[in-house]
Amino acid sequence: MSVAKNNTAIATTDTASNIPRSYVGRFAPSPTGLLHLGSLYTAVASYLDARAVQGRWIVRIEDLDRPREVDGAAQKILRVLEDFGFEWDAEVVRQSTRSHLYLEALRSLRDRHLSFDCSCTREDLGKHSRYPGTCRDRPHLVPTGVRLIVVPHTIHFLDRIQGSIYQDVAATSGDLLIRRRDQLISYLLAVVVDDADQGVTHVVRGADLIDETPRQIYLQQQLQLATPEYAHVPTLVEEGGLKLAKSRRSLSLCSSDIGMQLIEVFQMLGLKPPQSLHLGTIPEIWGWAVEHWQVALVPKRPTMRLLNPKINKYL
């Protein structure tokens, strides 16, 4: 495990600078495969955003979907992060150990009549673009999952990279699934509860999740939890337009040329590393990036296509 020596550091600049006095960021990979270039890219963005303001950065393993988990993947993910020079400021948390928190949230919503049991299957909903409210009165079958009641209400948040985002969750998604029929807690509920419990103030992640953010904010409001600030970096896609995926082993990472891979990622995030940085040590490379990080430099678009032959050379 890699825990930063300065594990209590927080930003201390005055409020006029618009930098928070306390910043907690996080990286939350799922152990469904090994890290790839896209994973490194989002981890680097999150890490730099935290370290640039002397904030804390934590790692959480999102292992709720046990049927999809690859044996040993969680340990390998942490080992790769260590190899690349990441340091985190608290013990790594695994979602599989936090069921009591999720059940407490489910009970809170049920007690306030904000959820209902739902027996609908994917096949039942296959023709619908949003949940049509089939089980709001009562479920038709067993076993049942649980859905959050969503009323018409436009969620707006200001993304630090992509700008203003608006979504009427009721019109877009309908009532939201928060526990599946197989009794597994949904990603939506788990991530909202975990971010609040761990005091996460800033979330930096890929723009492929930007449509999920208004739904998470809606659930945060129903649970009366604080809403972090969000920044969504462009999603890396392959030349054919497909998102990088663990299942296809997209552009896997190589431990033999870590510095070059980090520098390539810095460039994708809008930084301009000097040629001399290629000769630096891993701590020197990170130090330069932390000093020069500006979220305003990140490209403001939803996707970024990988056409740079250097990436294929080194990854």
Classify residue 6: in a domain, yes or no: no
Asked, as a colleague might, if the bond just before 143 is cis with ω within 30 of 0, I would say yes
Q: What pLDDT sits at residue 103?
A: 98
Q: What is the CATH number of the domain that holds 148?
A: 3.90.800.10
What pLDDT score was predicted for residue 122?
86
Same domain, 25 and 61: yes
Residues 196 and 106 in one domain: no
Residue 216 and residue 88 share a domain:
yes
25-48 average pLDDT score: 95
Question: Quick check: is 5 in a domain?
Answer: no
pLDDT in tens, 174-202: 999 999 999 999 999 999 999 999 999 99
Are the C-beta atoms of 91 and 122 separated by less than 8 Å? no
Among 187, 218, 246, the domain-final residue is 187
The answer to whether 185 and 98 are in contact (CB under 8 A) is no
Q: Which of 61-65, 75-79, 114-118, 136-140 has the lowest mean pLDDT?
A: 136-140
pLDDT(314) > 50: no
Ramachandran bin of 270, using left for φ above 0, alpha for ψ from -120 to 50, beta for the remaining angles = left
Is 213 among the domain residues? yes
Residue 64 lies in a domain: yes
Final residue before a domain boundary, out of 187, 209, 229 = 187
**Is residue 218 located within the same domain as residue 74?**
yes
Query: Same domain, yes or no, for 176 and 259?
Result: no
Residue scoring higher pLDDT (7 or 122): 122
Q: What is the pLDDT of residue 236?
A: 92
Q: How far is CA 140 from CA 134, 136, 173, 180, in A?
A: 9, 10, 21, 15
For the domain that residue 264 is a member of, what is the CATH number?
3.40.50.620
| 287-305 pLDDT, tens digit each | 999 999 999 999 999 999 8
Residue 252 above 80 pLDDT? no
C-alpha 305/C-alpha 307 separation (Å) is: 6
pLDDT value at residue 214: 98
The verdict on residue 8 lying in a domain is no
Non-local (6+) Cβ contacts of 85 within 8 A are 258, 262, 282, 283, 285, 286
**Is 273 within the bounds of a domain?**
yes
Residue 229 pairs in a beta bridge with 202
Are 47 and 86 in contact by the 8 Å Cβ rule? The answer is yes
2 assigned to some structural domain:
no
Confidence of residue 241 (pLDDT cuts 50, 70, 90): low
Mean pLDDT for the chain overall? 88
Write the pLDDT tens digit of every residue in 255-266: 778 999 999 999
pLDDT band at 249 (very low <50, low <70, confident <90, very high): very low
> Are residue 293 and residue 192 in the same domain, yes or no?
yes
Query: Over the stretch 58-68, which tens digit does the pLDDT of each residue have?
Result: 999 999 988 88
Q: Whole-angstrom Cα distance, residue 29 to residue 62? A: 6
Check residue 240 and give its pLDDT: 65
Mean pLDDT to the nearest integer, 33-44: 92
Same domain? 110 vs 203: no
Tell whether the model's pLDDT for residue 33 goes beyond 80.
yes
| 112 in any annotated domain | yes
The pLDDT value given to residue 1: 41
Q: Are residues 248 and 115 in the same domain?
A: no
Cα–Cα distance list, 142 to 50, 103, 118, 128, 180 (Å): 45, 19, 9, 21, 12
Is the domain of 203 the same as that of 107? no
193 and 183 within one domain: no
User: Residues 30, 71: one domain?
Assistant: yes
Residue 255 has a pLDDT of: 73
Task: Verify that 210 and 293 share a domain, yes or no.
Answer: yes
Domain span at residue 86?
15-97+188-314
DSSP assignment, residue 243? B
Question: Which of residues 128, 152, 187 is at a domain's end?
Answer: 187
Q: Which residue has the higher pLDDT, 250 or 274?
A: 274
pLDDT value of position 158: 98
Is the separation of the CB atoms in 193 and 176 below 8 Å?
Answer: no
- pLDDT at residue 278, as a whole number: 94
Domain count, the chain: 2
pLDDT of 309 reads 40
